[in-house]
Each structure stands twice: as C-alpha cells, then as structure tokens.
Chain A
C-alpha cells in the first residue's frame, strides 16, 4: 500500500511525532511505500537540526533524517507553518535576512499543495496528532 503521512505535532511535546516515525518505519519494513511525509502545524519542528535532546533519549530529528537517507522518503515541511515557527532553509534565510538556517538534512520546505497531492496520490493518508 502507498501511504501518505501527515504529522501535526512537534517532537518531545507530543507523542504523535514518535508514533508517526514508528508507523513509517514499520510500514517500510513490511514493504509498503511511503509517498510523502508532510509536517504541518507544530509538526514542522520535527525538521530543525538545532534540536539537541539529552543523550539518553531518542533523537527524533536525526531518526527522520536517517529515514530519508536510507529509504529515500520525501520529508516535506510546510512553508507557511515553518515561517511562523522559525524553521528555515538557506533560501528562506536569505530571503528573510536571517543569519542562519536550521532545516535538518533530508527535509525540504514546500507548500500545502504537497499535502493535497499526497492525499490524492496515496492509497491512504494517515494523520498523526490530536
């Protein structure tokens, strides 16, 4: 089955992000396809490489990046939600005159159309959040 994933909550505040990650990993292990993972609302905070969790805790951002690298999963952060919350890539940093960028490896910033496209193209969309 081809899954689209919507992550609506940030890491460490809400278990939704962990559950989405575990689901994605399990689906890939079972041979399913992940069409795209879209990060919305505070879910965009899954995409900041500035996250530094304690060493004895899971590193969710790094886990996402590894997933992208190993399984070529498309990790998309919503541009509007990201701008509100300070998640920016190099282009956005230049455009808004910020002194650095923080988008984690394997993520890309794009528009809400990417979510709708995932909803249309996937066999099933899974929403992780409240």
Chain B
C-alpha cells in the first residue's frame, strides 16, 4: 500500500509517543483506508506508535470482511501485516466493542481491550494524537 520511501535517519533520537485513533467504519468513507496508509508510512520514522480503535472504528478489525460486491478493496489483511512494521500496540475500546456485540475473537489481530478510564490514561500519556 505504501507509495514512498522516507529518509528516517534524520529522526534518530526524536521518539515521540504517537497515537492513531481510528473511529470510522472501514467502508462507506475512505478515512480508515487512508489512516492505515499514514500508519504504514509513519512506521519508517521509528516512533512509539499506538493504534486505537473505537466507535465504528472497531469494525476495521472485524474478521470475514467481504467487499467483492461493492468493488472496494478489502484492506483488512493489512492490519495483520502491521507487526512487520513494528506496529504492535493495538487497543480497542471495551464500550465500543460491547455496544456492537463484538469480542476479541471477532478480530483479525490480537488487541488489548481498554475501558474508558484506561483509554483516557493512555491518551494522556501521548505526545501526538492523530484522529481519523
């Protein structure tokens, strides 16, 4: 999916806690797909990255996505590749999961489930939060 290389040497030494918050369903709008593109490019910068999935964003990780009839690209397998990019801290909102009848067994990747106060604490720790 990535379309460019970036000179990462420039950023040796500057490591920020960088969180991506994914709040939208995978299809219907392009936010989820383009957010994933940022994560993949951003991986070259060796930052301390966390990904959060909340609200309809939890659907991005849902197993069994079939987009054939809509002619959209099913990009859910890419989440499984994040590990190779050293993006390993994935969190989901407990409330968002419960509201939608989802459990971690429904998801394509291992995640840590956080309740809203844990989520608040995690966000509090971040230097940068990018919301999509």
Contact = CB atoms under 8 A, between A and B. Distances in A.
A67 interface: no
B9 interface: no
A12 B99 CA distance: 33
Interface in A113-130: 113, 115-117, 119-120, 125, 127, 129-130
Interface in B1-46: 3-4, 6, 11, 14, 16, 18, 24, 30-31, 34, 37-38, 41-42, 44-45
Contacts of B132: 8, 41, 129
B31 A119 contact: no
Contact of A112 (B14, B18, B41): B41
Given A111-B41, A125-B130, A127-B131, A120 B3 contact: no
Interface of A: 6, 8, 40-41, 79-81, 84, 111-113, 115-117, 119-120, 125, 127, 129-130
A111 B11 contact: no
Size class of the B contact interface (CB-based, 8 Å): 20 to 34
A111 B130 CA distance: 16
Interface of B: 3-4, 6, 11, 14, 16, 18, 24, 30-31, 34, 37-38, 41-42, 44-45, 47, 128-132
Given A80-B37, A120-B45, A111 B3 contact: yes
11 contacts: A6-B130, A111-B3, A112-B37, A115-B38, A116-B42, A120-B18, A120-B45, A120-B47, A125-B128, A127-B129, A127-B130
A6 B131 CA distance: 10
